[in-house]
Structure 1
């Protein structure tokens, strides 16, 4: 069975006329009739019945029509996907990222990229550190932002694009809310609001507190940056968050204070699968990001991303 036979069959079924189908296919009527006859012989069943000047699908023909259309639609989609894979101005980028980057960074980079490539589509997938790595390895996303950036990993490669400082966030009426910077051990007696286990910011804050000489007392845990900010603003505790997680508006907001010692930072990287060619549109996005963050692919991304 040939694809040409399926094309001819579907066209005749829709037109209900061999001559009209041949005209639309730009082939001779005899060629269409011959292909339909060969298809019927191969299937061992009649696909059409003559009804006046037109043709009508038999019950077998109706059954075969559904399958034939599905096959041709799948083939058309496959051809489109290949063309988009090879075209950096089209196609879809599957991008993974942690929740904390979705507030400002992801909208900023996607908006900037789409100004240059307006026909590119994005499919986003948020997740925690382990799930993002798993999504990249399984091929469920093409690229993923991840924090902290893994310096070595057997199944992924990437580039560090940014090192971001974490700030202490305090209730507006906190005694330290008006100072410019604090030592982290000044918060040793406070109740902390932290991310739930599994979120990468949690061990960063925990390790920083241990380095400052104390174990944080955890009063509340959350999976959402907005919730942590809100709880702190409501006086339920203190926390540490990266600056890009502090872009928010509303009447109830915590106070941001710099931490002098120890300096608390997180690294953010862009990862992908090794030894596998990405779609050209994803490669274009990857190069755009390295330029956007001021990285050269070799140096760690200490340079800042555009803030406004």
Structure 2
């Protein structure tokens, strides 16, 4: 069977007219007719029946069209994959990250991409986690590195990179540090630097206090990103609820003190998300492996 006969058949089936198929393919109508006759001789049945001046697929023709389109798509993908293998890791990749993750990870990823894939065009996007998840689902971004927020849609693939922790922090000398044992109620006596009220982090913290019969923490400074929290905690001398990753990656890492408390501290997973279909592409699959490697190197001591 000649692959060209399959392609000519697909065009004839899609246009429903031998003359139109000939125009699309820049061939003569008799050439298209001979091609279809060869296919019909090979399968031992009719692929089309006339319907006025148009062609209608027979049941065998409908099945042949379905299979032929799959074969054509597979061949085109094979050519693309082999070309990419020959040319190297190249093309265009769009990657998003939440602000905190971007500050830690983007410089290393950009450097690694330049080293491993100099022909790759890298498009970096920094947004909030909700916006990036929507971008990935809509296909506006190939993949994103964000704190996971359940539930995960089934069409997304999740690649864990790091377990981060949300924790209480303060500047040295805060009165809480003088207590021999810190109870949950003790946190209610002080003012806080907190994430915005609409964020999942803030809602999670408020729920901890309310579920244990305490008022929510008293917010005096509200910030819409944990990225800015360490500096505000340091300058204001207030309590803060922020990410351990943020504490360790900021310039205030050695100035602030974490207050571990099992009721308040909570884990969250930082992961790469991408649509299942996206990762079938060799460029993006290779990119995931590279991002995993860079993340492991950056966060190995975290």
TM superposition score category, shorter chain reference? 0.5 to 0.7
d(CA) in 2 for partners of 1:228 and 1:220?
A: 9
Paired residue total: 220
Shift of 1:177: 4.4
Q: Gapped runs of 5+ residues in structure 2?
A: 1-79
CA distance in 1, matches of 2:180, 2:93: 41
TM-fit CA distance, 1:115: 4.0
- What residue number does 1:223 align with? 224
CA distance in 2, matches of 1:221, 1:290: 33
1:72-87 equivalent positions in 2, closer than 5 A: none
Distance 1:211-1:107 versus aligned 2 partners, 3 A rule: farther
- C-alpha RMSD over aligned residues: 3.8
Structure 1 unaligned blocks of 5 or more: 1-79, 295-303
- Alignment pair present for 1:150 and 2:150: yes
| Cα distance in 1 between the residues matched to 2:266 and 2:251 | 25
**d(CA) in 1 for partners of 2:209, 2:190:** 11
Measured against aligned partners, the alpha-carbon deviations of 1:165-211 in whole angstroms (never above 9, x if no partner) come to 22311133312347899555431222222222454433343344445
Give the equivalent residue in structure 1 for 2:106. 106
Q: Which moved more, 1:282-291 or 1:128-137?
A: 282-291
Matches within 5 A, 1:1-150: 89-112=89-112, 114-150=114-150
> What CA distance in whole angstroms lies between the structure 2 residues aligned with 1:287 and 1:107?
17
Distance 1:108 1:135, change over 3 A: same
Q: Specify the SS of the correspondent of 1:172.
A: coil
- Corresponding position: 1:166 with 2:166: yes
Distance 1:134 1:152, change over 3 A: closer
Per-residue CA distance 1:108-128 (angstroms, 9 max, x = gap): 444445444344342111222
Is the alpha carbon distance of 1:153 and 1:208 closer, same or farther for their aligned partners in structure 2, counting shifts above 3 Å?
same
Counterpart in 2 of 1:10? none
Encode CA deviations 1:53-104: one digit per residue, 9 max, x unaligned. Answer: xxxxxxxxxxxxxxxxxxxxxxxxxxx9x96699652223211111121232
Q: 1:270 aligns with which of 269, 272, 278?
A: 272
Q: Name the CA distance, whole Å, in 1 between partners of 2:117 and 2:180.
A: 42
Query: How far does the alpha carbon of each residue in 1:115-142 deviate from its partner, in whole angstroms, 9 at most, with x for none?
Result: 4434434211122232111111221110
Contact 2:166 2:243 in 1 (8 A): yes
**Distance between the aligned counterparts of 1:256 and 1:293, measured in 2?**
23
Change (3 A) 1:203 1:97: farther
Q: 1:184–1:229: structure 2 CA closer, same or farther, 3 Å change rule?
A: farther
User: Contact 1:180/1:257 (CA < 8 Å) preserved in 2?
Assistant: no
Structure 1 residues 253 and 288, CA gap change in structure 2 (3 angstroms): same
- Which protein is richer in helix relative to its size? 2
Normalising by structure 1, report the TM-score.
0.58
Distance 1:95 1:148 in 2: 16
Taking the TM superposition and a 5 Å limit, the aligned residue runs for 1:191-210 are 191-210=191-210
Whole-Å separation in 2 of the counterparts to 1:273 and 1:171: 42
TM-score by length of 2: 0.59
